[in-house]
Amino acid sequence: MAEKNNKSGSGYKMKVEKNVMVPMRDGVCLAVDIYRPDAPDKIPALLGMSPYGKAIQTLPYPFPQPAPDYTNDYKTALWDGNIEAGSTGEILARGYAHVIGDLRGSGNSEGENTGESKQEGQDYHDVVEWIAEQPWCDGNIGGIGMSYYAMTQVSAALEQPPHLKAIAPFFWHERLLSPSGIINPTLFWLYDGRDGTSGYAPKNVVSRLVKTVPKDDLERLVQNTLDRNPDLPYDARLWKLLIYPDKNPHCFDHLVEQFNPEYFGKWVRPDYGAKIKIPVLLGSFGPHSGFGLYQQLKSPKKLIMWSPQEYEPRPWRTGIDIVLRWYDHWLKGIDTGIMKEPPIKLFLMGANQWRYEKEWPLSRTKRTEYYLRTWERLTPEPEVENDFPDCYLQEPIFVSARRGSLKYLSDPLPEDLEVTGTVLVYLYAAIDQDDTNWRVRIFDVNESGVETTSPHSITEAWLRASYRGIDKKLSTPERPILSGKPEPVVPGEICEYVFTLPEMCNVFKAGHRIKLDISSMSSGKDPDAHTSSYVLSISRTTVHKVYRDSKHRSRLVLPVIPKS
């Protein structure tokens, strides 16, 4: 254990203890770094844990780095999406200890890392209880950090450690198998470290399936995965992960489980509402929305939805002032006024202003349909009789980098239009192959024809054509849910495809246009590739036809908020 005193820029002394080994219930020891004010008083602690390596979390970045923008050579190349444990200096300045830990099998920690959220939650539980016993801690502990650090906070809350008094999972996302059938290899680039991340700090990462599934069964499941994804042999990076599981054990497990549901069964979502009994502050953005979790929670809760510009900078410090107000209330008993504010705070893109709300979804929402029309129009009135579909061709990425697409634009809006909530897209379409990828995106286009959130969409969703089935028991008219079960696609047959896009909050200003973009391909060179939008491309040249006649009302359904 290394121990030293430093001074922060604010002038107070900081005591640092590195690689403190904390015993778990099974005897494995996890490594943590402890940063705390060098003072005699007992203080609360904020804990963050991930597989990224605790050492990178306190690098001397002079200011938060903006996200890489591949359309602008003058943007920083230093952005690291894995520096997410929080601002140590600001945390200590408010009278908290900051404890950053390596998950088992990563960094300096012992044990095997299998990527199981249950194990991560149990380990977090044990670290919390160990911190509570330290002579410098007053027994009040909260969670800190975004993304993976947010996931481990929620996993820990499910385990109910007695001294974990509240959590603040910012930009949390649920670890579940994708029902869309899309291979989105987040674990591929996240584990190795690429596209704007330094990746895991693997020490002893193993495949859970290699350890637990009989060899003959696993060989058959791997072959099933390859057979069910004929595009894989055209992408050596992903194909290699199935052939050599040790290269990226977590991605191997994810791929095999996703495409063999009959063997592994359906993933069961934890009962968050029943098991999480402590206060939760959720920070939300786009795909990391947290709205589903927020709706399930019964404990004291708040949710803040940020703008893309606030989500991206690293090292992460988005909303750290609010997080510390939250903990001043729940860990120190200080009346900061945070619980007197309405529970939801939204940033309205377009209007560039904040607004409080008391409920989700908003009861005043008016579901408003915009229909796909000829000449790439998007209007509140449906198409007159027209049997001629719109078409685009998508070649495989190894043939051409051309991206086929259809784009539908509304007329310039006569007045401001607020869209807040879950967006739905219904497409009636046919393809000339037995499968394809669909990608739908929403943009705000200004009077000059410029997409205001470029290079990102406001919200988007992907769907493999053969995974179009809807789970009718779980679905509601406002939120259709995919079944996750593949259904054959007959070439030339018109099918309905339903897309549930992540929550958005945007004011389309008067004179702006709403744009719906439909395509089938992304690549690692896309401006938004660092946010995991790259997916496995189709390997056969495919014609896509979108219908919008009286029997096939392809449409966009927007959650419009009427003017108050």
Helix (H, G, I), strand (E, B) or coil at 340: helix
Please choose, from the candidates 195, 503, 171, 174, the residue with its C-alpha nearest in 3D space to the C-alpha of residue 311.
Answer: 171
So what's the pLDDT on residue 393? Answer: 97
- Copy the structure tokens of residue 98: 């900051």
Interval 363-399: pLDDT, tens: 999 999 999 999 999 999 998 888 899 999 999 988 9
Domains of the chain, first to last: 2-175+271-341 (3.40.50.1820), 186-264 (no CATH), 366-561 (2.60.120.260)
- Could you give the CA distance from residue 526 to residue 170 in angstroms, rounded to a whole number? 26
So what's the pLDDT on residue 210? Answer: 96
Neighbour count for residue 369 (Cβ, 10 Å): 15
Q: Identify the H or E element spanning 91.
A: helix 88-93
Burial class of residue 162 in the structure, from the number of CB atoms within 10 Å of its CB (0-12 exposed, 13-18 middle, 19+ buried):
exposed
Sign of the CA dihedral 533, 536, 541, 545? negative
- Copy the structure tokens of residue 155: 């996993």
- Could you give the CA distance from residue 104 to residue 28 in angstroms, rounded to a whole number? 8
So what's the pLDDT on residue 177? Answer: 75
Please choose, from the candidates 181, 255, 235, 174, the residue with its C-alpha nearest in 3D space to the C-alpha of residue 524.
Answer: 235
So what's the pLDDT on residue 531? Answer: 47
- Could you give the CA distance from residue 142 to residue 272 in angstroms, rounded to a whole number? 18
Does 456 score more than 90 pLDDT? no
- Could you give the CA distance from residue 561 to residue 417 in angstroms, rounded to a whole number? 8
- Could you give the CA distance from residue 34 to residue 101 in angstroms, rounded to a whole number? 9
Residue 3 or residue 336, greater confidence: 336
Query: Best-predicted range by mean pLDDT among 138-142, 176-180, 484-488?
Result: 138-142
List 378's β-bridge partners, or say none.
Answer: 372
Q: What's the number of CA atoms in the CB half-sphere (13 Å) around residue 563?
A: 5
So what's the pLDDT on residue 1? Answer: 46
Q: What's the number of CA atoms in the CB half-sphere (13 Å) around residue 523?
A: 12
CA distances from 503 to 50, 59, 419 (A): 26, 33, 10
- Could you give the CA distance from residue 67 to residue 50 in angstroms, rounded to a whole number? 21
Q: Which residue matches tokens 């493999």?
A: 464
- Could you give the CA distance from residue 317 to residue 311 in angstroms, rounded to a whole number? 9
Query: Best-predicted range by mean pLDDT among 6-10, 19-23, 76-80, 309-313?
Result: 19-23
Residue 527 or residue 460, greater confidence: 460
Helix (H, G, I), strand (E, B) or coil at 424: strand
- Could you give the CA distance from residue 447 to residue 351 in angstroms, rounded to a whole number? 15
| Helix residue ranges per DSSP H, 165-248 | 186-192, 208-212, 215-227, 236-243
pLDDT category at 524 given cuts 50, 70, 90 is low
Residue 409 or residue 310, greater confidence: 409
List 43's β-bridge partners, or say none.
Answer: 137
- Could you give the CA distance from residue 192 to residue 82 in angstroms, rounded to a whole number? 12
Neighbour count for residue 471 (Cβ, 10 Å): 14
So what's the pLDDT on residue 75? Answer: 62
Please choose, from the candidates 233, 133, 110, the residue with its C-alpha nearest in 3D space to the C-alpha of residue 183.
Answer: 233
Assess contact for 349 and 311: CB atoms under 8 A.
Answer: no
Q: List all residues 6 or more positions away from 431 whose beta carbon is below 8 Å from its beta carbon.
A: 465, 489, 491, 492, 542, 543, 544, 545
Q: What distance lies between CA 308 and its chain's CA centroid?
A: 13
